[in-house]
């Protein structure tokens, strides 16, 4: 039941994000006087609609997108009068472009000649087309800021999580860099010293502790000598003496992967106490939220830039024996499944419980909005960035003409980019189908 509730939360979040994205286009379009005939959330058959003034507002059956229909998105062919396009051209692409021009003009009625999109100034075109992506960025910023400043983020703190039962004597391998206990292994030093789960580590050898890195560094460099710890247990401070064991352990790189040579892990002698850290929700100061949002945006952009090469891995995983990249692209089906898994997690109340699950769902929807923001900025039709690029080029041409006292060069004919738009649409559809298939047959496993 919780799984389906999580899926429902994600579906509603996706639908609202799409609806607000289209409002980002709708509001400035109406503000600038463009005639808007439709505002639709979803694709396919219309399941509900209502007309308000000249605009039909509605919801369609497939909630995988949406659109705002503005009249006159494409200019007439140079030399033609608006509304009097030639109906015959040679070449399949030319016919397709002419048909697109005709469709763009078909809803222009007497009195609407100056309410077309293509006659707007380049600046107004850019504002309208950036309205959708900017709305997604605003949604993501609000959700992320609220989550990290109100609920907080799970962070490793200098508090004892789990205690190991033993000092492992098995030699680490690449397959098992952290060996398990086996009968006869000596008791782990932390357990033998009486350390308990949830103990807060206050100091080690008289030095105050504020992070888990300080704890691991002190244990690693102890070389088997006695260590004097002070831990906070309940409302009292308890002194504890721990003597870490010295064992050969695998070393790890900055990404957390075992370092290997000749197919074997690189081992190093280090102290071992047998404790793992605990995670707690730690709130982020409001002043640090912009940097956090910026970092997540940069991370999202880096993933989207690598989508072409990552799609090869998706295909190999879906149709072969490979595993999915947890940092690779996923479809809305995959996002919904992750939302369901988050809702179904069994998280103790003292570790966040339902609040942590709700926060993770909020951050999941925020991540989706960041992806929509970045992806729609790609300067190719039919994405918003393609229209922005056309308007920016028009501004450059007009500005250059004014500087040289040349006649106004007129509107940039974005219709010439329609063959690219058709190809791009085919690529997007193919990617979506592949990702949906992969998310069904070989889903990304982020919870182990």
Mean pLDDT in order along the chain per 10 residues (448 residues)? 81 90 94 91 89 91 84 70 46 58 69 84 93 95 92 84 80 58 82 90 92 89 87 91 83 68 73 84 87 92 82 81 76 82 76 77 91 89 87 89 86 75 82 85 71
Give the Cβ contact number of residue 1 at 10 Å: 7
Given 22, 341, 359, 394, the catalytic residue: 22
Give the Cβ contact number of residue 111 at 10 Å: 8
Map residue 175 onto helix, strand or coil.
coil
Contact 22, 67 (CB under 8 A): yes
Q: Which residues contact 11 (CB under 8 A, 6 or more apart)?
A: 63, 336
Q: What is the pLDDT of residue 369?
A: 94
Q: What is the pLDDT of residue 84?
A: 47
Structure tokens at 34: 């463009």
Closest CA to 231 of 242, 246, 243, 245: 242
Contact 249, 267 (CB under 8 A): yes
Q: What is the pLDDT of residue 86?
A: 44
CB burial class (10 A; 0-12, 13-18, 19+) of residue 240?
middle
Q: How far apart are CA 50 and CA 40, in angstroms?
A: 11
Contact 412, 391 (CB under 8 A): yes
Q: What is the pLDDT of residue 90?
A: 47
Which domains occur in the chain, in start order? 1-152+283-448 (no CATH), 155-281 (2.30.42.10)
Active site annotation includes 394: no
Predicted TM-score of the model (pTM) = 0.76
Q: Please report the DSSP string for 143-164 in residue order.
A: HHHHIIIII-EEEEEEEEEEE-
Map residue 369 onto helix, strand or coil.
helix
CB burial class (10 A; 0-12, 13-18, 19+) of residue 309?
exposed
């Amino acid at each position: 039941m919780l799984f389906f509730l999580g899926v429902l939360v994600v579906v509603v979040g996706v639908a609202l994000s799409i609806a607000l994205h289209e409002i980002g286009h709708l509001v400035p379009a109406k503000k600038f006087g463009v005639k808007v005939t439709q505002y639709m959330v979803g694709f396919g058959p219309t399941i509900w609609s209502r007309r308000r003034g000249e605009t039909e507002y509605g919801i369609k059956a497939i909630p995988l997108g949406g659109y705002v229909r503005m009249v006159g998105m494409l200019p007439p062919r140079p030399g033609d009068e608006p509304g009097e396009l030639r109906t015959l051209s040679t070449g399949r692409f030319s016919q397709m472009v002419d048909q697109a021009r005709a469709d763009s003009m078909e809803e222009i009625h007497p009195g609407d000649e100056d309410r077309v999109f293509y006659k707007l100034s380049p600046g107004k075109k850019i504002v309208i087309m950036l309205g959708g992506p900017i709305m997604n960025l605003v949604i993501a910023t609000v959700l992320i800021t609220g989550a990290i400043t109100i609920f907080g983020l799970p962070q490793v703190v200098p508090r004892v999580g789990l205690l190991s039962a033993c000092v492992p004597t098995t030699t680490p391998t690449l397959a098992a860099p952290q060996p398990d206990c086996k009968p006869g292994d000596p008791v782990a030093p932390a357990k033998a010293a009486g350390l308990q789960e949830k103990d807060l580590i206050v100091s080690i050898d008289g030095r105050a502790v504020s992070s888990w890195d300080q704890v691991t560094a002190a244990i690693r460099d102890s070389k088997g000598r006695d260590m004097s710890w002070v831990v906070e247990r309940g409302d009292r401070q308890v002194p504890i003496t721990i003597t870490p064991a010295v064992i050969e352990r695998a070393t790890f790189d900055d990404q957390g992967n075992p370092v290997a040579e000749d197919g074997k892990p690189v081992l190093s002698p280090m102290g071992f106490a047998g404790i793992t850290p605990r995670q707690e929700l730690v709130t982020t100061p409001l002043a640090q939220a912009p940097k956090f949002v910026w970092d997540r945006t940069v991370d999202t952009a880096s993933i989207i830039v690598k989508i072409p090469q990552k799609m090869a891995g998706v295909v190999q995983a879906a149709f072969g024996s490979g595993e999915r990249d947890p940092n690779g692209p996923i479809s809305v089906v995959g996002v919904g499944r992750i939302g369901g898994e988050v809702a179904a997690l069994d998280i103790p109340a003292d570790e966040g419980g339902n609040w942590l699950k709700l926060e993770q769902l909020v951050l999941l929807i925020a991540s989706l909005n960041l992806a929509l923001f970045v992806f729609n900025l790609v300067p190719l039709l039919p994405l918003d960035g393609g229209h922005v690029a056309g308007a920016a080029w028009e501004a450059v041409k007009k500005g250059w003409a004014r500087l040289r006292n040349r006649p106004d060069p007129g509107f940039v004919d974005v219709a010439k980019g329609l063959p690219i738009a058709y190809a791009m649409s085919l690529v997007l559809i193919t990617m979506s189908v592949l990702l949906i298939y992969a998310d069904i047959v070989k889903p990304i496993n982020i919870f182990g």
